[in-house]
Amino acid sequence: MTMTMTPDEAAWFAESFNRLVTNVEQVLLGKTFVVRLGFTALLSEGHLLLEDYPGTGKTSFARAIAQSVSGTTNRIQFTPDLLPGDITGVSIFDQRENEFEFHPGPVFSNIVLADEINRASPKTQAALLEVMEEGQVTVDGVTHPVGSPFMVIATQNPIEQAGTYRLPEAQLDRFLMKASIGYPDRASTMRILDGADVAAHSVTIEPVVSAELVVEMAQLARTVHVDPTINDYVSRLVEASRSATEVRLGVSVRGALALMRAAKTLAASNGRHYVVPDDVKALAESVLAHRLVIDAEAEFEGVTASSVIAQILIENPPPTERQAV
C-alpha cells in the first residue's frame, strides 16, 4: 500500500503552488488559468503544447516557469532544416584523447521551449518526442539523462501555414495537455503597455522553490487519494470519446492515465488530499481534446474536439456519492 497524502501535505502543496502561480503572473498578466495549467503539467511530470499566435508571451511564460523553480531554460527554434542532433547533441571526435566526446544539445535543460514545433521535419520532431517520453538521450549507444524536473513547452501556430508539418496523432498524445495563452483582455493590455519601457526578456523573477523541491512536489502529487468512483468516471468519459459518432480516433489509455495524473495534481494544488469529480471536469478539455481525431465530415460541419468533450461531460454525469476517505 503506498502512502496517501495527508491534509497537511495538501495544504503545504497548495501554498507552494500558489506562490509559483503568483510569481509567474508578474510576467503573464491576466492569464491565471494558463499559468495554473503550466504548473499542473510540470508537477504531473508532463509536457505542455501551446497553440498560439506569435507575440502572446510563450517564450516569457517558459522562462518565467524556469526562473520560478530555479531551473535552466533553453529555447529551440524549429525550422525545416533543423536536424535531430541540433536538439539532442552530438558526439565529436576528440583527437587528443582519441575518443568521441558527447556535446549535449539544448534539450538538456529543465524547461525547454520548442518553438513552432510544426515547422521541423518529422524526423526532428520524433527526436524531441523521444526525449519527452524517455527523459534521456541516447547517442552512439550511450544514454544521457536530461535531468529533472524536465518539461517541454512546445508551441505551434494555429494557422495552417505553408511549410509546416502537422504533428501526428501519436505524437500529440505525448503532450499531457494542450492550451492557448490567447490575447490579454483590455485591462491587462493597459498594464502591459504601462510597463512598455522594460523589455520583456530583461525581466527576471525571483525563484520561489528549488528544482529539487519541484521533484519532491511531483512525487507528493502522485499520492493524492483517488476514489474508485473517480476511476469509473474517467473510464466512462474515455469510453464515450471512443464511441462518439463524430470521432474517428478516441482517447487512448495514455490519455486516461494523463487525466488521472493531472487531476491528482490539481486536487493537491487546491489543498485537497483527494480527487473530486470537478478536478476531472476542469481538466477534461485541456488533457483530452487534442488526443481526439474528428471525422472529416463532422469537422466540415464545424464539430471541434473541444465541443465533443463538452458534450461527453454533459452526457456522463459525475458520481455524486463519495466514499469516506
Over its length of 325 residues, how does the chain's per-residue pLDDT go in tens digits? 468 889 899 999 999 999 999 999 888 888 899 999 999 999 999 999 998 888 888 888 888 998 999 888 899 999 989 999 999 998 888 888 888 888 999 999 999 999 888 888 888 888 898 899 889 998 888 889 998 899 999 988 776 666 677 777 777 888 999 998 888 888 888 888 887 666 666 677 888 889 889 999 999 999 999 999 999 999 999 999 999 888 888 888 999 999 999 999 999 999 999 999 999 999 999 999 999 888 888 888 888 888 899 999 999 999 886 554 4
CA distances from 129 to 75, 82, 137, 172, 303 (A): 15, 15, 11, 9, 28
The CATH 3.40.50.300 domain(s) of the chain lie at 1-222
Predicted model pTM: 0.89
Q: Could you count the other beta carbons within 10 Å of the beta carbon of residue 104?
A: 14
Radius of gyration of the chain (CA): 20
91: how many CB neighbours lie within 10 A of its CB?
A: 15
User: What pLDDT score was predicted for residue 158?
Assistant: 75
- Closest Cα partner for 171 from 211, 105, 121? 121
Residue (of 139, 148, 114, 136) closest to 43 by Cα position: 148
Give the DSSP letter string of 38-67.
HHHHHHTT--EEEE--TTSSHHHHHHHHHH
CA atoms of 207 and 237, how far apart (whole Å):
38
The architecture (CATH level 2) of 224-319 comes to Orthogonal Bundle (1.10)
pLDDT score of 95: 86
Locate CATH 1.10.8.80 in the chain: 224-319
**Residue 145, preceding bond cis, omega within 30 degrees?**
no
Q: Does the structural domain 1-222 have CATH classification 3.40.50.300?
A: yes
Q: Whole-angstrom Cα distance, residue 220 to residue 5?
A: 7
* CA 26 to centroid of chain Cα atoms: 20
Looking at residue 16, its pLDDT comes to 94
What is the per-residue pLDDT for 187?
Answer: 85
Cα separation, 9 vs 133, in Å, equals 29
Peptide bond into 7 cis (omega under 30): no
DSSP state of 137: E
- What is the model's pLDDT at position 153? 92
pLDDT at res. 1: 43
User: How many other CB atoms sit within 10 Å of the CB of residue 296?
Assistant: 9
Residue 18, pLDDT score: 94
Predicted local distance difference test score (pLDDT) of residue 325: 47
